[in-house]
Amino acid sequence: MEKNIVCLPGDGIGTEVVESAVAVIEKIEQKYGHKFNLIYKDFGGIAIDNHGNSFPQDTLDACLKADAILLGAIGGPKWPTTAPDSPERGLLAIRKSLNLNVNIRPVTVYDAQLHMSPLKEEIVKGTDFTIIRELSSGLYFGQPKYRDNDRAVDTLAYSREEIENILHFAFKLARKRRSHVTSVDKANILDTSKLWRQIAEEVGAQYSDVKLDHLYVDAMAMELMRRPAFFDVIVTENMFGDILSDEASMLAGSLGMLPSASHSINGPSLYEPSHGSAPDIAGQKIANPIATILSVAMMLDQSFDLTAEAKNIEEAVYKTIEQGVATKDLGGNATTTEMTEAIISNI
């Protein structure tokens, strides 16, 4: 198989973890006889430095032509978020331009990882859920949006179509898993959430084989800590999903463990770790590359249908953890390169 992958390493540890992920891609190429053409483009802070624009046209053009996109992470203190352009603006722009409306974040805690979780092992054992987050609408995109010295406004808006799309995605995924959807909203207060809950019921009625329950986002934040193993597919709007997925990431012990995939209805998908550019550890070569390596596994499976290759990477990652190889965030002292080499040798 031959595919074109656009790589956007970005800033901070983004460049370090993408380097690891590319080493894994090359190992998969060799082992299975595929050809992955890697096209590197600037994105985020580095693109502001090199082109005066966080998301240059040339980067967008390459992404639109790609079979899949691998993103590291963007941002850092060098590029203030208050400036007219910022890496974070670039991130919103790429999601909007590629119409990436479905974000998938699997959270699986394997037995070998139990000791890394800040929760008691008996609570976290068996945790295996996926958060489906609406990514291209809601509070981060709604208009009007403005700020002056005395007042600031953000707008939370959702259309029926946007809500239906994401809910259908969640129910279809649940059918391939344990047939349980938890829809998260704030329907006791917000009108967008009242509409969300109504549509969740309507869509749910079309999937009578899937159990649907609802939780308010504040209760969900608590339940994720109390009984994480209860959940299967969690579906929610943009900001709630942003916050809950970071909370959920700690179940696995570190933000550095969690991959993600973002899909549009008909364009290329984007794969990235759930974490940011971690300026506090950038350049130290201690970043955990697992989230990005598992994002590559998601790419092979979800964009290229290379299921065996994806499984091979996942199993290599978990074997490496079982062998006790751990970066600093996991309580060990392996460098990014050592962790990457251990995973590659297990592929």
Ligand X SMILES: NC(=O)c1ccc[n+]([C@@H]2O[C@H](COP(=O)([O-])OP(=O)(O)OC[C@H]3O[C@@H](n4cnc5c(N)ncnc54)[C@H](O)[C@@H]3O)[C@@H](O)[C@H]2O)c1
Distances from the Cα of 11 to the Cα of 38, 50, 59, 259, 328, angstroms: 18, 12, 15, 18, 20
Distances from the Cα of 211 to the Cα of 78, 128, 171, 234, angstroms: 47, 17, 9, 12
Q: How far apart are CA 304 and CA 300, in angstroms?
A: 5
> Pick from 138, 253, 256, 268: which binds ligand X (CB under 6 A)?
256
DSSP class per residue in 60-122? HHHHHH-SEEEEEE---TTS-TTSSS-HHHHHHHHHHHTT--EEEEEEE--GGGGGGSSS-HH
Partners of 2 in the beta sheet? Answer: 35
| Residue 246 bears catalytic tag | yes
- Per rule CB under 6 A, count of chain residues that contact ligand X: 23
**What are the structure tokens assigned to 137, written together?**
């609408």
Q: β-pairing, 152-155 with 128-134?
A: unpaired
Binding segment toward ligand X, per CB under 6 A, in 136-144, 181-189, 217-225, 285-293: 285-293
Q: Least separation, in Å, of the C-beta of 250 and ligand X? A: 10
Site string for ligand X, 12-51 (x = CB under 6 A): -x---x----------------------------------
Site string for ligand X, 127-156 (x = CB under 6 A): ------------------------------
Site string for ligand X, 317-346 (x = CB under 6 A): ------------x-----------------
> Pick from 88, 134, 162, 309: which binds ligand X (CB under 6 A)?
88
Q: Least separation, in Å, of the C-beta of 11 and ligand X? A: 8
Binding segment toward ligand X, per CB under 6 A, in 49-57, 74-82, 195-203, 228-236: 74-82
Among the listed residues 20, 23, 14, the one whose alpha carbon sits nearest the alpha carbon of residue 90: 14
Binding segment toward ligand X, per CB under 6 A, in 180-188, 207-215, 276-284, 293-301: 276-284
Among the listed residues 202, 191, 120, 139, the one whose alpha carbon sits nearest the alpha carbon of residue 168: 202
Site string for ligand X, 166-185 (x = CB under 6 A): --------------------
Q: For residue 330, which amino acid is it? A: L
Residue 73 touches ligand X, criterion: CB under 6 A: yes
> Pick from 63, 102, 187, 287: which binds ligand X (CB under 6 A)?
287
**What are the structure tokens assigned to 153, written together?**
């406004």
| Residue 186 bears catalytic tag | yes
User: Which residues are catalytic, by number?
Assistant: 140, 186, 218, 242, 246
Binding site for ligand X (CB under 6 A): 13, 17, 73-76, 88, 91, 254-256, 272, 275-281, 287-288, 291, 329
